[in-house]
Structure 1
Amino acid sequence: MDILSIVGVIIAFVAIIGGNLIEGGEVSALLNLPAALIVLGGTVGAIILQHSGAVLKRSLIQFGWVFLPPYINFQAGIEKIVGWSMVARKEGLLGLEEVAENEMDPFSQKGLQLLVDGAEPESIRNVMELELGSREQRELNSTKVYEAMGGYAPTLGILGAVLGLIQVMRHLEDPSMLGPGIATAFVATIYGVALANLFYFPIANKLKGIVHEQSLFREMMIEGVVAIAEGENPKAIELKLKGFVDS
């Protein structure tokens, strides 16, 4: 569980609601169903139109990373690679066949399988870097869903404000209708700007950071597998990969 994400959400809510209360406002003044429908519904509709089903599905999976990010342990990865190199030195590359069958990570498993098949180091690097680039691009495309939401929400907030003002103008002769119309106008703007800057953009940036960290971990795996293919000493491999931890 990522405690900082939870703390960030709480602080965002407290800041907005607390600021409103300090100014003498009421929490109920920030609750407006038509404004929420315009901003949230319009944003969801826009991103569904913009993105494919596969991208949207991945973005929903990635949303869980905000509070439960995938566990990435560089030190454990280094120890795993060093263990592979020791097996390779003792039993040869074919000794990694059983290791490859038991490896849970598909990316690492592919590298091990290439080692077992006797692929050249440069060939191993090319194959794994191609998969790394493709996977990273797919995952970054999914994070752009939240960037798009951050772009649409303020605009739809303005749209909600305009719609609210239209209602106000249509009922100038009826003072009882002025309040709800003006409320929708201003609350829709608040919803759009707040959602974009306190949630959508931060979520997108956090997910990008996780994707880049995963890519860095896979780059380390590539370097380790290639080093094994080149017959490097396990100690030398460990020292080389330590640079990923220090960075």
Structure 2
Amino acid sequence: MDFASLLGFLSGLALIIGAIFIGGDADLFVNVPGMMIVFGGTWAATLLTVRFTDVTAAFRAAYIVFTRDDTDQQKMIDTMLQLSKISHRNGLLALSKVETNSKFLQRACMLIAEASTEEMVRTTLQTEIDSLMVRHYAVQDVFKKMAMYAPAFGMLGTLIGLIQMLSNLTDPATIGPAMAVALLTTFYGSLLSSMVFLPIAGKLRRRTQVQITNLEIIREGTLSILSNDHYANVYERLSSYIPEVKRKPLTRHTGANTVKEPTL
């Protein structure tokens, strides 16, 4: 469980609900027609903009926001250094027997074992990275689109409410309540955009950046192993991917690690 995501969502929701209850009657903030306009309009516009498969993939990926991020660049560097040791000790062909949960790393090891050229390895792995970025950004774009549409439909609901209110100006007692109802749709749209859709898109973007960095470490480590670089050179090449204060000394790199990659 990602504690930061859970804490952020629950604390934000609690503060908003608390402010509503402190300010008065919570029933004033419930308006079914306004919800229909905002939720229904946002959903319809999103389906009109992107493919249905992207929408379903986006909602499946939303749970990642609240899952623990197990990706670790230092562990990935440790893994590549261990693979470098294996290749120097037992030969490149021995990497074909490496067991890992990472399909990307497994494919990199197979490319090395098959004596592929450096250009082929670089192109193949980079194509995989680019394809993953496209898939992930398509998912993030769904939430960005919804964050854009929700306030727009909130404003549309407000205009509808104002039109209905202005048509009954002969009864001044109804103007205040009608205005409050008209503004509720703007509230719904802003709440969905700033509390749900934009934070989810932002967290997924950050997760993608971390995962891409791990894949780049695998790519560069694979090229170093294929070039038969010295163990220390592999370390220097890969350690540049993490901040200097977080780098472990070369003498502390022992043992292999199993890598798990979340997929969208």
Fold in common (TM above 0.5): yes
| Structure 2 match to 1:140 | 137
Amino acid in structure 1 at the alignment position of 2:78: E
How far the C-alpha of 1:16 sits from its partner, in A, is: 2.4
The aligned residue for residue 215 of structure 2 is 218
Q: Secondary structure at the match of 1:72?
A: coil
CA distance in 1, matches of 2:113, 2:226: 9
Q: Where in structure 2 are there 5+ consecutive unaligned residues? A: 245-264
* Equivalent of residue 239 in structure 2, options 232, 238, 242: 242
1:105-144 equivalent positions in 2, closer than 5 A: 105-144=102-141
SS of the residue 1:244 aligns to: coil
Letter paired with 2:191: A
Sequence identity percentage: 29
**1:30 corresponds to which residue?**
29
**Counterpart mapping for 1:5-84 below 5 A:** 5-22=5-22, 24-84=23-83
TM-score by length of structure 2 reads: 0.85
Cα distance in 1 for partners of 2:63, 2:17 equals 26
**CA RMSD, Structure 1 to Structure 2 (Å):** 2.0
- When the two structures are aligned, how many residues end up with a matched partner? 244
Preserved contact between residue 160 and residue 184 of structure 1 (Cα < 8 Å):
no
Q: TM-score, normalised by structure 1?
A: 0.90
Q: When you count helix as a share of all residues, which structure comes out higher?
A: 1
Greater length-normalized contact order (CA 8 Å, ≥ 6 residues apart): 2
Counterpart code for 1:107: F
Provide the rounded CA distance (Å) in 2 between the counterparts of 1:176 and 1:93.
84
Distance 1:9 1:231 in 2: 48
Q: Is the alpha carbon distance of 1:69 and 1:105 closer, same or farther for their aligned partners in structure 2, counting shifts above 3 Å?
A: same
Q: 1:197 to 1:215 in 2, by over 3 A?
A: same
User: Per-residue deviation at 1:177?
Assistant: 6.2
Alignment of 1:74-223 (within 5 A): 74-99=73-98, 102-172=99-169, 181-223=178-220
Give the Cα–Cα distance (whole angstroms) in 1 for the partners of residues 60 and 82 of structure 2: 32
Describe the superposition over 1:26-46 as per-residue Cα deviations: whole angstroms up to 9, x where unpaired: 222212222111111111111
